[in-house]
A and B are shown apart, each in its own frame.
Chain A
Amino acid sequence: MRRLLIALGLLALAASAFAGEIALSDRRSGYELMGRELRAMQDDDTANPGMLWVLEGAALWKRPTGAASRACVDCHGEAAVSMKGVAAHHPAFDAAKQRPVSLDQRINNCRVDRQQAPPLAYESRELLALGAYVARQSRGLPIAVTIDDRMRPFLDAGHAIYERRQGQLNLACSQCHDDNWGRQLAGNLIPQAHPTGYPLYRLEWQSLGSLQRRLRGCLTGIRAEAYDYGAPELVDLELYLMWRARGMTMDAPAVRP
């Protein structure tokens, strides 16, 4: 009997240590976990290096390209109106591909289909610039990916990847970002992994980077083989993370350590 009680006690302890999903009211964006100086850097548009990409994106938005010699602005008009909230809704379902696509993929689809131009490489300056410019139009808006019957299987797949132990270190995303957020990983604070500000400027990168770059960095960190840019697994994971951060405020282009 006593042994059983001890076992039950240990189980209860284990349950409290692995608390699982973060309650909606306990969620904190990376911005809220940063220091004063970095917040000031992000908030000031003339100090935030991400704005360099936004400026470049604004120029690209108006530049005709491809065989169709058409610019984004020719179809979409002013980005401040047409692109408002778009980044907060991605990944979104694409009827042609019958699966969710990321914002970067949506931009490239548009380039190939409408502008008849070659797709931009992932993490290229142009794609990041257009992504940052579009994402900037969602600043201050709540994240709201659409989850319906078509999207549900992909959300579940992303959730499964998030909970799955991977790599030589045999770690799941959730073990750091759900169970141990707020604690230290060497010198760094473990954040809750809410993708509110992508593409964002990371001081470590000395550059702007996409959410997929961040995810691949994490996968390499747990010594797993990282999925390729644009891989369905990464988009599913992106979708799950955005759903997990539903209702949180977009702050792209963000600055992070």
Chain B
Amino acid sequence: MASALINVPARAKRGEIIEIKTLISHVMETGFRRTQVGAVIPRNIIRRFVCSYNGAEVFSADLHPAMSANPFIVFSTIATESGTLAFEWTGDNGFSVKETAAITVE
């Protein structure tokens, strides 16, 4: 089931700065909240996001408990060559989602 939305321009000129938008479905439970009977709700967050461009890491981020649910991460990179952008989110409870997007550089 698709749980991530990615927006990468399909085509770009060589050397152009491209904007990449990612949105992923996740509760980002902080671990600080309690239920109505006082039990701590265990932390469940995404810890790390990595984007690699043809195998080379171009962007990464560490995520922490104070981030909103469904994190929306926007960043930019330089279009160098045609290929694949790979995205990976990893987090608590073995959470791992991988997505890819293709880009053609002219």
Contact = CB atoms under 8 A, between A and B. Distances in A.
A123 interface: no
Given A52-B70, A206-B69, A206-B70, A46 B3 contact: no
Contacts of B25: 49, 52, 56
Number of contact residues on B: which range applies? 10 to 19
Contacts of B7: 46
Contacts of A55: 1-3, 5
A26 to B, nearest CB: 34
Nearest to A206: B69
B100 interface: no
Contacts of B1: 55-56, 59
Given A55-B5, A56-B1, A59-B2, A207 B21 contact: no
B51 to A, nearest CB: 15
Contacts of A11: none
A46 B23 contact: yes
Contacts of B3: 52, 55-56
A157 to B, nearest CB: 33
A46 B5 contact: yes
A52 B24 CA distance: 8
A51 interface: yes
B23 A49 contact: yes
B68 interface: yes
Contacts of A52: 3, 5, 23-25, 70
A46 B2 CA distance: 13
B5 A51 contact: yes
Interface in A20-51: 44-47, 49, 51
Contact of B21 (A47, A203, A206): A47
B21 A46 contact: yes
Most buried by B among A52, A55, A203: A52
Given A52-B3, A52-B23, 11 more contacts: A46-B5, A46-B7, A46-B21, A46-B23, A49-B25, A49-B70, A55-B1, A55-B5, A56-B3, A59-B1, A206-B68
Interface of A: 44-47, 49, 51-52, 55-56, 59, 203, 206-207
15 contacts: A44-B21, A46-B5, A47-B21, A47-B23, A49-B70, A49-B72, A51-B5, A51-B23, A52-B3, A55-B3, A55-B5, A56-B3, A59-B2, A206-B27, A206-B69
The 7 A-B residue pairs whose C-beta atoms are closest, nearest first, are: A46-B7, A206-B69, A52-B25, A49-B70, A55-B2, A46-B21, A46-B5
